[in-house]
Structure 1
C-alpha cells in the first residue's frame, strides 16, 4: 500500500480531496464576507445564509460536508465523513430532521435515484479516512446501494475481485450516477480515474477512461464526478469531471468520447443538472499569482444550457474574450472555503456543501 506521502504527491497533481493544512503549503486567505451582501452575476444572484443549518456540531459532529441530494419529500440529505452521523437530513428551513450512518469513514459520493416510486441512495466511500488522532489511512473504496433510511441492499464488487483492475491499480471511487435503464456508473476519481459501468443488479459491463491513453481526449485526470445529462431527452449523455484539467468531459452512455468543456482556473467537483443549467462546486481556484490548490479559494460556478458560464457565486464574474472563457478566480471578498457540492431546490435556492471548512454545516444561497 502506498503511504501518505505518495498520496499527497498525487493530490498536488490531481487535486484529491484530503484535509489540507498550512504545513502542506496552503495559505489562509481573506475573512469571509458579511452575510447581507449579495453574490453571483446576471440572473443568478444570491443572499448568503451561513447560519441556515439549525444544528450543533457538538451534538452532530462534522468533518466535511461532501454531497447533498433532495428526496421526493423535499428533504435535503447530506453525506459527510464523520461516522457518528454520516447522513444528516434537513428540511428546507435548515431544521435537522434525522441522522444516521456509522459505516462510511470515507463518505464522499451521494446519488439519489427514484426506482419505481421509491427513493434509493448510492453511497460512495472513497477509501481515505482520518481517525480521531488526525492520522490518514487508505483502504479499498466501496459503493453501497441503500434505502432512503440506510438499509443496505447490496454493494458493488471491488474491481480487483472480478479481474477488472490489476493489483497495482488503486480503487478509490468518488461518485456514482444512474442511467435511464438503471445502469450504475462509478467514477474512480481518487484511484485510477476509470469510469466503471454496472447493470442495475451490480454486474460489471465495461470500463473506460483512466489517465494513460495516447489520445488525451480519453484521459480523465481526477475523475471526481459523474452525472447523466438529460437536457436532450432523446439523447442522454454522461458528463465526467476531469478536475485536475479544470474541465467536464462528455461521453455517450457506452463510453464514447464526445467533447470537453474547459473551465480554466476552476477545479470543479461533480456536475449538478437543474432544468437547462449546470452547477458545480469549485474546490479550488488558482490565485492571481497563478498558484494551484491554495486553501480557501473555492466558489460555485453555473453554466447555461449552452454550457457557457453565466455566474460564479463567490467568484469573479465570468469573462469571455473572443468567445474564450478566461481563467476564473475567487472573488476579492471570500465567501467559501472549498465548494464541494451543491443542491438546487424548486425555488432555485442553492445549498452548498464544503470540504475542509472548519467543521461547518452546509450554507444556503437564497436566490434573489
Structure 2
C-alpha cells in the first residue's frame, strides 16, 4: 500500500498527538499498606470537560443502599454513581453548607441527617425525594442562655436519638429524640481530658456493643484526638491522640477512617491501632490549605481532607475541604 506525503504527515501528527495524550493521562496511584492498600481512580467525579462537578466543598460523604454516593458542598448535595457521574442533586438554600452528613435507613426509606454550621441548625431529609422532615434549631430550653450555635457534626443512635455537636462554638453536644425534642446536653469547651477543643466530627461507633459515640476533638493540644462517650453523654476514654486535625470518622466493620485536615487519611482497627496512612501531603503550604485550585491537585496527595465513607466493597470516597471541590475514589486492592 502506498501513502502520499500528505497521508504520511497526517499519520505522523496523529501518532505524536496520541503519544502526547498518553503521556498526559494521569495514572492511578497506589497507597496504604497490607490489607489497607488502595488505588486512586484518576478523574473520578469530574465532568466530561475535566472540571470539578460540585464547586467549593466543606462537607461530608455518605452512600445509600443502592451504592450511590452523596457529598455535600457549598451549593448543596450532589449524588454520584459509583462510576463518578452526577445523577442527581439537591441545590439551593435548603441544602447548602451541610458541614457533616450521615445516612440512616428507617423502614423502607433512607434519610440524610446534616449539621449546618453557617445556618445554625441540624436537618433531616429524605435521601431520595429531598423532602425535609425535621429542623433542629438551637434548643433554648437547654438553659444555656443565648450562645452562638454553629453545628459541625451529627449522628443518630439505634433508638433514633439525634446527637448534634456545637463544635464551632460552645462545644456542647445536644441530644434530641427522634421527633426533635431536646433531651439533654454534655461537654464543654476546653483542653482538659473531658473537654472539647472543637468537637468537629462524630459518628456512632458500631465496632462495640453497646454502641458508643466516637468524637473528633480536632484542636486538642498538643495534637488532635478521638474520644469515646456513651449514648447518655458519659465520658468513657481517650481513644487515640496525635492525629493532627481529625475532622470526621466513618466506620465499616472493625475499621474506622479518619480524615486529617492537614492532608492525609488515617485508618484504625478495632484496637484503634493505625493500619495505614493515605494521601499524606508533605508540603506544609498545601496540607490544610483550602485554596488549592484544581490545576494544582496532585493524584494520590490530599490537601484538606474533611469527609470520608466506605462502600460495601471496602472502597473509600474522600472529600477535601477545597475551593474547587475535590472528591476522590480509592479502590481497595484485594
The alignment's TM-score, normalised by the length of structure 1, stands at: 0.73
Residues 4-83 of structure 1 mapped to structure 2, 5 A cutoff: 35-55=27-47, 60-64=53-57, 66-82=59-75
**Structure 1 residues 56-65 or 220-229, which shifts more?**
56-65
How many residue pairs get aligned? The number is 288
Which whole-Å deviations, capped at 9, do the CAs of 1:204-239 have from their partners, x for residues lacking one?
Answer: 1110111159xx22201110111111212x311111
The two structures, once aligned, show a CA RMSD in angstroms of 2.3
Task: Work out the CA distance in 2 between the residues paired with 1:352 and 1:90.
Answer: 13
Describe the SS at the equivalent of 1:162: helix
Q: How much does 1:125 deviate?
A: 1.2
Task: Work out the CA distance in 1 between the residues paired with 2:238 and 2:39.
Answer: 32
**Residue 339 and residue 72 in structure 1: after superposition, are their counterparts in 2 closer, same or farther (change >3 A)?**
same
| Structure 2 portions without partners, runs of 5+ | 1-25, 282-286, 289-298
Task: Work out the CA distance in 2 between the residues paired with 1:363 and 1:244.
Answer: 25
Task: Work out the CA distance in 2 between the residues paired with 1:344 and 1:265.
Answer: 20
Residues 194-213 of structure 1 mapped to structure 2, 5 A cutoff: 194-212=172-190
Which whole-Å deviations, capped at 9, do the CAs of 1:62-115 have from their partners, x for residues lacking one?
Answer: 111521111111111111112xxx011011111111112211443211111111
Task: Work out the CA distance in 2 between the residues paired with 1:345 and 1:272.
Answer: 11
Task: Work out the CA distance in 2 between the residues paired with 1:108 and 1:254.
Answer: 24
Task: Work out the CA distance in 2 between the residues paired with 1:219 and 1:145.
Answer: 28
Describe the SS at the equivalent of 1:124: strand
| Structure 1 portions without partners, runs of 5+ | 1-33, 128-139, 285-297, 317-328
Q: Residue 195 of structure 2 corresponds to which residue in structure 1?
A: 219
Q: How much does 1:262 deviate?
A: 2.6
Q: Residue 249 of structure 1 corresponds to which residue in structure 2?
A: 227
Q: Residue 330 of structure 2 corresponds to which residue in structure 1?
A: 365
Which whole-Å deviations, capped at 9, do the CAs of 1:236-280 have from their partners, x for residues lacking one?
Answer: 111111001211110010011010123315211111110000111
Answer yes or no: is the 8 Å Cα contact 2:247–2:259 preserved in 1. yes
Residues 27-176 of structure 1 mapped to structure 2, 5 A cutoff: 35-55=27-47, 60-64=53-57, 66-82=59-75, 86-103=76-93, 104-127=95-118, 140-148=119-127, 149-159=129-139, 161-167=140-146, 169-176=147-154
**Structure 1 residues 52-61 or 143-152, which shifts more?**
52-61
The alignment's TM-score, normalised by the length of structure 2, stands at: 0.80
Task: Work out the CA distance in 1 between the residues paired with 2:155 and 2:243.
Answer: 26
Task: Work out the CA distance in 2 between the residues paired with 1:189 and 1:97.
Answer: 32
Q: How much does 1:60 deviate?
A: 4.6
Q: Residue 177 of structure 1 corresponds to which residue in structure 2?
A: 155
Answer yes or no: is the 8 Å Cα contact 1:217–1:257 preserved in 2. no
Is 2:329 the partner of 1:336? no
Could you say which structure has the larger radius of gyration? 2
Which whole-Å deviations, capped at 9, do the CAs of 1:15-62 have from their partners, x for residues lacking one?
Answer: xxxxxxxxxxxxxxxxxxx64331112221111124111426879541
**Residue 280 and residue 265 in structure 1: after superposition, are their counterparts in 2 closer, same or farther (change >3 A)?**
closer
